[in-house]
């Protein structure tokens, strides 16, 4: 049975137990670099990556989290090609959507990153080109956009049913929160798919990837 719900393909990223990626993770999409070049950026030239699978990536990230008590994210990324874009999986991490990080990573290329974070931080979306954030927003607050062109993706956002008008009173705030919160993560990934043409699907976790440390300093 087919469905016309644009969020249906991304509900696996929104399950209450976190699914295979857990409740904290980031996924980034790079255009203009190949996997080896992406790995080079994340490792600051210190590591060329090793061929692995998602299980190997997850093992390394879990070990890093245990050693650092989780305060520094997952410490590793897995990178693979998907059409004209590279996909980067950052388990247990949120670093890819930090402003100071995504701007560095996007120099000379295009980067779109989405983070799910069920705890201290918030779900977030960052779209950057050549060192500048073009459009960003917290996934639960699509009416609070920022960047050099905050309205660049609004047509796509409306197609996905996002409320783009800032609430004007307490009742409107409550309604906006109820409308946006439960669908924030799938809508973020649906928006990423509209921009990149890459639909982040569960079977992508089965792909071979280059795994390398995420060196942030």
Phi and psi dihedrals of 64, rounded to 5? -65, -45
Alpha helices in the chain (DSSP H): 35-42, 54-68, 99-105, 154-159, 170-181, 184-196
d(CA 202, CA 18) in angstroms, rounded, equals 13
> Which tens digits make up the pLDDT trace of 60-118?
999 999 999 888 899 999 999 999 999 999 999 999 999 999 999 999 999 999 999 99
CA 1 to chain centre: 29
Question: Do residues 33 and 41 touch, judged by C-beta distance below 8 A?
Answer: yes
| Least-confidence region, from 5-14, 139-148, 175-184 | 175-184
Question: Do residues 62 and 92 touch, judged by C-beta distance below 8 A?
Answer: yes
Residue spans per domain, the chain: 16-213
- For the entire predicted model, the pTM comes to 0.94
d(CA 118, CA 140) in angstroms, rounded, equals 12
Q: How far apart are the first and last CA of the chain?
A: 48
């Amino acid at each position: 049975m087919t469905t016309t719900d644009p969020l249906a393909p991304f509900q696996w990223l929104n399950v209450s137990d976190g699914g295979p990626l857990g409740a904290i993770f980031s996924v980034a999409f790079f255009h203009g670099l190949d996997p080896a070049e992406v790995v080079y950026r994340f490792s600051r030239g210190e590591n060329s990556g090793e061929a692995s699978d998602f299980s190997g990536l997850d093992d390394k990230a879990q070990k890093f989290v245990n050693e650092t008590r989780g305060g520094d994210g997952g410490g590793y990324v897995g990178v693979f090609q998907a059409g004209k874009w590279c996909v980067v999986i950052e388990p247990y991490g949120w670093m890819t959507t930090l402003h100071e990080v995504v701007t560095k990573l996007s120099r000379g290329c295009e980067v779109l990153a989405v983070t799910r974070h069920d705890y201290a931080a918030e779900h977030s979306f960052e779209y950057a080109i050549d060192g500048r954030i073009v459009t960003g927003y917290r996934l639960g607050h699509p009416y609070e956009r920022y960047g050099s062109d905050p309205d660049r993706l609004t047509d796509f956002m409306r197609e996905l049913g996002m409320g783009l008008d800032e609430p004007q009173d307490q009742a409107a705030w409550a309604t906006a929160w109820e409308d946006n919160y439960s669908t924030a993560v799938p809508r973020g990934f649906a928006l990423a798919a509209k921009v990149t043409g890459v639909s982040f699907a569960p079977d992508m976790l089965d792909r071979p990837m280059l795994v390398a440390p995420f060196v942030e300093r």
